Structure 1
Amino acid sequence: MAAVVVAVVLLREVLLPFVAGMLLAYLLDPLATRLERLGMNRLVATLTIVGLFVVGVTTLIILTAPVVVGELAYFIDNFPLYIKTVRGFATDPDRPWLSKLVGEGLAYAEQSVGELTAMATAGFKDFLRSVWTGGRALISAFSLLVVTPIVACYLIYDWKKMVAVIDNWIPPAQRDTVRALAREIDDTIGGFLIGQGTLCLILAVFYAAALSVLGLKHGILIGIAAGLISFVPYLGSLSGLVTSTCVAIAQFWPHWAIIWIVPAIFFVGQTLSDYLLSPYFVGRRVNLNPVWIMFALFAFGYLFGFVGLLIAVPLASAIGVLTRFALQRYYESFFYTATPRATTTDAVRLTHCDKKMD
Structure 2
Amino acid sequence: MILDSGRWFWLVIAGIVVSLVYLLAPILTPFLTAALLAYLGDPLVDRLESWKLSRTLSVTAVFLSLFLFIVMFFLFLLPVLETQVKLFIGKVPAYLDWVVNVLAPYLQEHFHVDTSVLEVDKIKAVIAEHWQETGGIIRNAIHTISKSGFVVLGWVANLALIPIITFYLLRDWDRMVAYVDDLLPRSSAPLVARLARESDDVLGAFLRGQLMVMLSLAVIYSLGLSLVGLEFALLIGLIAGVVSFVPYLGLIVGVAIAGSAVLFQTQDVFDLFWVLAVFGVAQMIEGTLLTPLLVGERIGLHPVAVIFSVLAGGQLFGFFGILLALPVAAVLAVLLRYIHDTYKQSHIYSINAVDDALKGQE
Q: Same fold (TM over 0.5)?
A: yes
Report the counterpart of residue 172 of structure 1 in structure 2: 186
Alignment of 1:27-106 (within 5 A): 27-92=40-105, 95-96=108-109, 97=111, 100-101=114-115, 104-106=118-120
1:181 aligns with 2:195: yes
Structure 2 unmatched ranges of 5 or more: 1-13
The change in CA–CA distance for 1:40 and 1:133 in structure 2 (over 3 A counts) is same
* Greater shift in the superposed pair: 268-277 or 170-179: 268-277
> Over the residues paired in the alignment, what is the CA RMSD in angstroms?
3.3
Q: Which amino acid aligns with 1:48?
A: A
Report the counterpart of residue 325 of structure 1 in structure 2: 338
Report the counterpart of residue 149 of structure 2 in structure 1: 135
* Greater shift in the superposed pair: 287-296 or 35-44: 35-44
1:214 aligns with 2:228: yes
Report the counterpart of residue 284 of structure 1 in structure 2: 297
The change in CA–CA distance for 1:304 and 1:106 in structure 2 (over 3 A counts) is farther
The change in CA–CA distance for 1:169 and 1:261 in structure 2 (over 3 A counts) is same
1:111 aligns with 2:125: yes
Whether the aligned pair in 2 keeps the contact of 1:22 and 1:155 (CA below 8 Å) is yes
Higher-Rg structure is: 1
The change in CA–CA distance for 1:330 and 1:244 in structure 2 (over 3 A counts) is same
TM-score (norm 2): 0.81
Whether the aligned pair in 2 keeps the contact of 1:187 and 1:285 (CA below 8 Å) is no
1:152 is displaced (CA, Å) by 0.8
1:219 is displaced (CA, Å) by 1.5
1:153 is displaced (CA, Å) by 0.9
1:60 is displaced (CA, Å) by 4.2
Structure 1 residue corresponding to 2:264, chosen from 250, 262, 272: 250
How many residues of Structure 1 are paired with residues of Structure 2 in the alignment?
346
* Greater shift in the superposed pair: 278-287 or 156-165: 278-287
Report the counterpart of residue 23 of structure 1 in structure 2: 36
Structure 1 residue corresponding to 2:358, chosen from 340, 343, 347: 343
* Greater shift in the superposed pair: 222-231 or 124-133: 124-133
* CA distances 1:301-351 after superposition (whole Å, capped 9, x unpaired): 33333333322222111111111112222222333336112637984xxxx
1:160 aligns with 2:170: no
Structure 1 unmatched ranges of 5 or more: 348-358
Q: Which amino acid aligns with 1:116?
A: H
Whether the aligned pair in 1 keeps the contact of 2:310 and 2:322 (CA below 8 Å) is yes
1:205 aligns with 2:219: yes
Whether the aligned pair in 1 keeps the contact of 2:263 and 2:271 (CA below 8 Å) is no
Question: What secondary structure is seen at the aligned counterpart in 2 of 1:335?
Answer: coil
1:241 and 1:136 map into 2 onto residues whose CA distance is: 44
1:195 is displaced (CA, Å) by 1.6
1:89 is displaced (CA, Å) by 2.2
Report the counterpart of residue 226 of structure 1 in structure 2: 240
* Greater shift in the superposed pair: 324-333 or 178-187: 324-333
Question: What secondary structure is seen at the aligned counterpart in 2 of 1:172?
Answer: coil
* Greater shift in the superposed pair: 14-23 or 34-43: 34-43
Structure 2 residue corresponding to 1:12, chosen from 2, 22, 25: 25
Whether the aligned pair in 1 keeps the contact of 2:90 and 2:131 (CA below 8 Å) is no
Report the counterpart of residue 325 of structure 2 in structure 1: 312
* CA distances 1:190-227 after superposition (whole Å, capped 9, x unpaired): 12222211211221122112211221221122112321
Whether the aligned pair in 2 keeps the contact of 1:84 and 1:110 (CA below 8 Å) is no
2:70 and 2:136 map into 1 onto residues whose CA distance is: 32
